[in-house]
Structure 1
Amino acid sequence: MMYDMFPGRRDFMDFSRRLFDVMFDPSFGNAAGFNTDIRETDNEYILEADLPGMAKENIHLEYHDNVLSIAAQQEEGKDETDEEGNYLRRERTSRSFRRQFLLRDVDEHNIAASFENGVLTVHLPKKEPQAPTSRRIDIQ
């Protein structure tokens, strides 16, 4: 066969095929790892983030200096081992995600979050915007 004439070509073709499969995987190119929508109403911002397969205990939210941070860590897959503990198949991966969103004038004491069916929903009530302040600076 033609592959036999070029040592290593079969390995290269297998590598190329795997690379092609990865590039067209739906999660490739989504460096953030999860999709998020943010809606604004008169009274609040509503953030919805898709985190399928995630456990609520592995999701961490923080609002600090007008920035909402969402961090999550996930382990997935399964292991099949023989009696000696050697892997016959290993597809377990560990992933961590982190995203940040700038949301100004949020009443941080009344933020509420829920997680249901793989969707994180965060309600961020608005507070009255602070008027920008300025002061004259004398040059010495």
Structure 2
Amino acid sequence: MFDLVPFGKRREDAFGVLAKSLNEVFNDDFFAPLTSSALSFRTDVRESEGAYLIEAELPGFKKEDINIDYTSPYLTIKAVRKEEKSEDNKEQMAVRRERRYGQYVRRFYVQDIAEEGIRASLQDGVLSLEVPKRQKTQGKRIEIQDGGGSSGGPLQ
């Protein structure tokens, strides 16, 4: 079972639409930090017979900036982008900043996975995760033995 809807998405979307409308009226990025897309990233989730395959867009992140954690039953992907302070040229001041800094987090509800087998790789700004499913054990059929009479003794 894999839940694809991020927590609180509906509430954030409604607020995001309101913030976008106000943002367009004022033609300013004042409300940009309040929208849900500012601190999230896009993911694709596919399912095969033995695993879930997750691809997350994280352009500009190094593998040291990304943390993947599984604490049953939640798989969390967190990427942290820190603001770089340039001391080189103090004469140039920023007129407008559109690049975002902060924590980008996605959390998924996942059950019955083999957490020790999770594999991750980062290439060209795409984080790829292979999350193997736990092998389900087959039930064992129990045969009822003949008691050999009506003595009412213990089962053998």
TM-score tier by shorter-chain length is: 0.5 to 0.7
1:1-140 to 2 correspondences below 5 Å: 16-19=26-29, 28-30=35-37, 32-75=39-82, 79=86, 82=89, 85=90, 87-89=92-94, 91=97, 93-129=100-136
Query: What CA distance in whole angstroms lies between the structure 2 residues aligned with 1:35 and 1:65?
Result: 22
Which structure shows the bigger proportion of residues in strand conformation? 1
- The runs of 4+ residues in structure 1 deviating greater than 4 Å are 76-82
**Gaps in structure 2 of 5+ consecutive residues:** 1-24, 139-156
* 1:51-80 CA distance string (max 9 Å, x none): 011111000001111211011111367758
- Structure with larger RCO (C-alpha < 8 A, sep 6+): 2
Aligned length: 110
The TM-score with structure 1 as length reference comes to 0.65
RMSD: 3.0
Q: CA deviation at 1:87?
A: 4.7
Stretch of structure 1 that moved more, 93-102 or 33-42? 93-102
In percent, how many aligned pairs have the same letter?
A: 33
TM-score, with structure 2 as normaliser: 0.59
SS at match of 1:122: strand
